[in-house]
Structure 1
Amino acid sequence: MIPGIGTVVNVATVLLGSTLGVLLGNRLPVRTRDVVTDGLGLVTLLIAGTSAMAVLDDTLADDVGSDAPMLIVLGSLLIGGIVGSLLRLESRVESLGGWLQTRLAGSSDSADRHRFIEGFVVSSLVFCTGPLTILGSLNDGLGNGADQLYLKAALDGFAAIAFAASFGWGVAASAVTVVVVQGSLTLVGLGLGDVLPDAHLAAITATGGLLLVGVALRLLRVREIPVADLLPALLVAPLLVQLAAALH
């Protein structure tokens, strides 16, 4: 199996789903597209809750103690949020979305630009913060097969249809983020001798679940949480697990 083939398939399903969603969305009234977005927000909230429950994982508790998992997730979000805000990740992601909108869509209308950027940011976060992204890409690089990425590709394809029906071509542009994030993780997998320990993955999954809660709140138009600023939390989580395990 050629490393990276899973990401190639994932990008293809995102682009195909986005194209179908744009074709469908252009035929739907604004009210219907808003309802679709609300539905996506609720489903994202469900996925987020399921992922966040990994904080109760027995393996994580065994490694760091029963009281530490919640503190690890909290510490990851606080430290990651500070780092991300200092690096201005949210504004950088939005700037990238604006640049792609200019290059790909070419429209100067402010409403179209906002819709494109929102579609790009939200889709990028949804497609790249789940556990399948991390574990699937690492396993692909390790030569263990791309089955997990194939499953993720199918899920992302259907999600892209729904997202693009509401946000348009900005969703297709998120394929760039998928290439960068999953491609980088696949390269990391090539250099590793084994996958992440279960406890580390549980901490990443729980932290990623809370980030998806932030995405869901954006979709539901409850609050514009700068989720991209919190992305470093996914890197901080396994480091805190390692530290807590050493002290346990």
Structure 2
Amino acid sequence: MPIGVLVNGGSVVLGGILGCVLGKKLNQEFQEKLQMVFAVCSMAMGITTIVLMQNMPAVVLAMILGTVLGHFCRLDHGIHKAAGGMQKAVFGIVGSGRKSSPEEMDILLTVIVLFCASGTGIYGSIISGMTGDHSILMAKSVLDLFTAAIFACSLGLAVSLIAVPQMVLFLLLFFCAGIIYPLCSPEMIADFKACGGCIMLATGFRMVRLKMFPVADMIPAMILVMPVSWIWMTYILPLVS
């Protein structure tokens, strides 16, 4: 049973609701301070997985090819459009005619990537489906609960709706884990986690608006990194070692 996936999705929904309720009671300065703390947590989670990297050239190549693929597929534009639809749906439900500002849309994009495309969530879903160990997703749920609450203070209930695509993706990975995991070597898993860590690190920079990395366009790298890692170890590494 995908307990970890369900708890993670529930934490996002609950965090979004709490943020809407408490949003008026938390001043802007306090919210900004907590966002910086969450950004540091995202960076720390990214760094702890990046250091597990086994084949740096393979991860670098996957990151480059994945970003190029995401750019030409206009993945950033597609996620922005989906985020806009989520905002409109929420505003229609609550009866508000307010339009989202470009800054809000950019923040929502960052939050979508943080919740749905983190290496921790994707890897945790696969481990949960393969071994029944939900500890990784449980740890992620704690961070997601408070992160969702803070971002919901400014974005509203749209944050809670992010749980829908998140759970669809994680449930798909959970049920496919029996097929995916046995095909992966420990080195491929480590490179996969490192790739996710790079995206998590870039997401942290976006959260503090220090550098607006194209995190949405980087997502295809998560798909490419395992095949690239396998090709590198099987065909290229024996030639250069």
Superposition TM-score, scaled by structure 1 size: 0.83
Q: Report matched runs for 1:94-105 at 5 Å.
A: 94-105=80-91
Does the Cα contact within 8 Å between 2:46 and 2:197 map onto a contact in 1?
A: yes
| Superposed counterparts of 1:28-177, under 5 Å | 28-55=26-53, 60=54, 69-106=55-92, 107-110=96-99, 112-114=100-102, 116-142=104-130, 144-177=132-165
Aligned position for 1:64: none
Are 1:208 and 2:196 counterparts? yes
Q: Deviations over 1:175-222 (max 9, x none)?
A: 122112202211311445737432112111111111122211211112
Q: In structure 1, what is the equivalent of residue 9 of structure 2?
A: 11
Q: Tell me, which stretches of 5 or more residues in structure 1 are unaligned?
A: 61-68
Shift of residue 129 of structure 1?
Answer: 3.3
* Aligned-pair CA distance for 1:135: 2.9
Deviations for 1:83-139, whole angstroms, at most 9, x for unmatched residues? Answer: 1011111111111110011111234434x4546534432222222333432232223
Task: Output the CA distance in 2 between the equivalents of 1:132 and 1:197.
Answer: 18
Q: CA RMSD for the aligned pairs?
A: 2.3
Question: Within 5 Å, which residues of 2 pair with 1:12-27?
Answer: 12-27=10-25
Which letter maps to 1:53? V
Task: Report the CA distance shift for 1:19/1:199 in structure 2 as closer, same or farther (over 3 A).
Answer: same
One-letter amino acid matched to 2:138? Y
Q: Percent identity?
A: 24
Q: Can you give the 5+ residue segments of structure 2 that lack an aligned partner in the other structure?
A: none
How many residues of Structure 1 are paired with residues of Structure 2 in the alignment?
233
Counterpart CA distance in 1 for 2:187 and 2:125 is 18
* Residues 115 and 168, structure 1, Cα contact 8 Å, conserved in 2: no
Q: Which amino acid aligns with 1:13?
A: S
Which amino acid in the other structure matches residue 41 of structure 2?
Answer: V
Distance across 2 between alignment mates of 1:38 and 1:150: 22
Separation of aligned partners in 2, 1:156 and 1:43: 11
Structure 2 matches for 1:197-236, cutoff 5 A?
197-236=185-224
Distance 1:146 1:47, change over 3 A: closer
Secondary structure, in 3 states, of the residue corresponding to 1:223? coil
Quick one: which amino acid aligns to residue 109 of structure 1? Answer: R
TM-score by length of 2: 0.85
Contact 1:214 1:225 in 2 (8 A): yes
Contact 2:90–2:158 (8 Å) recurs in 1: no
Residues 193, 83 of structure 1: alpha-carbon distance in 2 compared, 3 angstrom cutoff? closer
| Residues 70, 191 of structure 1: alpha-carbon distance in 2 compared, 3 angstrom cutoff | closer
Q: 1:142 to 1:123 in 2, by over 3 A?
A: same
Structure 2 CA distance for aligned equivalents of residues 187 and 80 of structure 1: 24
